Amino acid sequence: MVTNGVAGYREDYKQRLNVQKERYFIFYNDRVLIHKDAEDIHPFAGEWRHFEPLAGTVLPLGKGPDNRSYVVELAREPDLGSDYDLIGLRSLVGRIDDAGFNLWGKASQILNWQKSHRFCGTCGGKTIDHETDQAKICPSCSLTWYPRIAPCIIVLVTCGQEILLARSPRFTRGMYSTLAGFVEPGESVEATIRREIEEEVAIRIKNIRYFGSQPWPFPGQLMLGFFAEYASGDIRIDEIEISDASWFHHTDLPLIPNTGTIAGRMIRHYLASVAG
C-alpha cells in the first residue's frame, strides 16, 4: 500500500516538473488519481514509484509526442494519504485546460479500448499491438482494430433573441443544455441534426452552421457543434431522452453547462454575439 511517505516528495515537486518528462495517467475503478496541490495534477515519475506495486495494467498513451506518457490501471485501491485524491473523470471538465482534459480523456479511451479488444471481434483470436499505429492486429484473420470514436452532433437552435434548451433526466438538478445525438450509419451530419431535432422536440430548423468540435471520452464520442435557426413547428418532447424543453430569452437563462463543454461554449458564444 502507498503510505504517507509520499508526502516527502511534495517539497521538491515543482522543481521536478521541469526536469521529468514522463507522465502517468492513473485510474482505479473508473476514477482518476490526481495530486491535490501541484500545478500539474498528473503524477510524474517520482510519485509513480510509490504506486507502481499496485499497477495491474500499464500502457503507452500513444505514438510520437505521447510516447513517454503512460496509462495505468491500479489492481488494488491505494492509500491516498493527504496528498492525492481519486475523482471521476467528469470532475476534471472545466477544472483543467482543454489540452490537459483531452489527454486524460485519451488515456481513458485507450484503457477501455485495450480492455475491450484483447480478442478479435470476428474470429475470436488473441490480438497483438500494431508496430507503428495505435491499433490492434489479429494474427489469425489479419484484421486491424483501431480505437472506436463515435461522432455526435450537438446543436444550439436560436429564434431571434431566444435559444432552445432542454433537460435530460440524467442532468444535474436545474441544468438545461443544447440538443445532441449520435450520427447513424448512412447519415450525413446535416441529416442527423435535422432528424435528432425533430425526434426530440418535433420542430424543424434551417441555416445550419458549423461551430467547432470537442473530444468527449464518455466513453468515446467526438462532439460536432453547430448553430441552427428555428424554421417551424411547436415543441413536443419525446419524454424519453428529453424531460423538458423550452425557449429561453438570452437575458433569462437557467443553469447551463460550464465552459469546459462545447455546449457551454456555444451558448456563451451566442450570448456574446447578441450583447455586442
Q: Report whether pLDDT(13) > 70.
A: no
Residues paired with 27 in a beta bridge? 32, 73
The listed CATH number (3.90.79.10, 3.40.47.10, 3.20.20.70, 3.40.50.10260) that belongs to domain 150-275: 3.90.79.10
Contact 51, 33 (CB under 8 A): yes
**Torsion, Cα of 143, 149, 32, 268 (10° steps):** 170
From CA 26, how far away is CA 74, in angstroms rounded? 7
Identical fold, 7-114 and 150-275:
yes
Higher pLDDT, 259 or 7: 259
The secondary structure element, H or E, covering residue 227 is strand 221-232
Q: What digits encode the pLDDT tens for the residues 227-242? A: 999 999 999 998 888 9
Q: Strand, coil or helix: what is 28?
A: strand
Kindly report the pTM of this predicted structure.
0.84
Give the strand order in the sheet containing 55-60: 55-60, 69-74, 23-28, 31-35, 84-88
Higher pLDDT, 67 or 266: 266
Mean pLDDT of 65-79: 85
- What per-residue confidence (pLDDT) applies to 18? 40
Q: Strand, coil or helix: what is 81?
A: coil
From CA 190, how far away is CA 187, in angstroms rounded? 8
Q: What digits encode the pLDDT tens for the residues 118-177? A: 999 899 999 998 888 888 999 999 999 999 899 999 999 999 999 999 999 888 889 999
Q: 1: pLDDT confidence band, cut at 50, 70 and 90?
A: very low
State the alpha helices, DSSP H only, in the chain: 13-17, 45-51, 98-116, 189-201, 262-275
- Residue 85 sits at the vertex; the CA angle it makes with 83 and 90, to the nearest 5 degrees, is 145
How crowded is the C-beta side of 246, counted as CA atoms within 13 Å?
Answer: 10
AA letter at 36: K
Q: Report whether pLDDT(38) > 70.
A: no
CATH architecture of the domain 7-114 equals Alpha-Beta Complex (3.90)
Nearest to 269 by CA among 56, 257, 78, 222: 257
Higher pLDDT, 50 or 250: 250
AA letter at 198: E
Q: In the chain, what percentage of residues exceed pLDDT 70?
A: 88
Q: In the chain, what percentage of residues exceed pLDDT 90?
A: 63
Q: How far is CA 49 from CA 1, 31, 76, 218, 254, in A?
A: 12, 20, 15, 29, 46
Contact 179, 201 (CB under 8 A): yes
Q: Report whether pLDDT(11) > 50.
A: no
Kindly list the domain boundaries of the chain, sorted by start residue.
7-114, 122-147, 150-275
- What per-residue confidence (pLDDT) applies to 94? 85
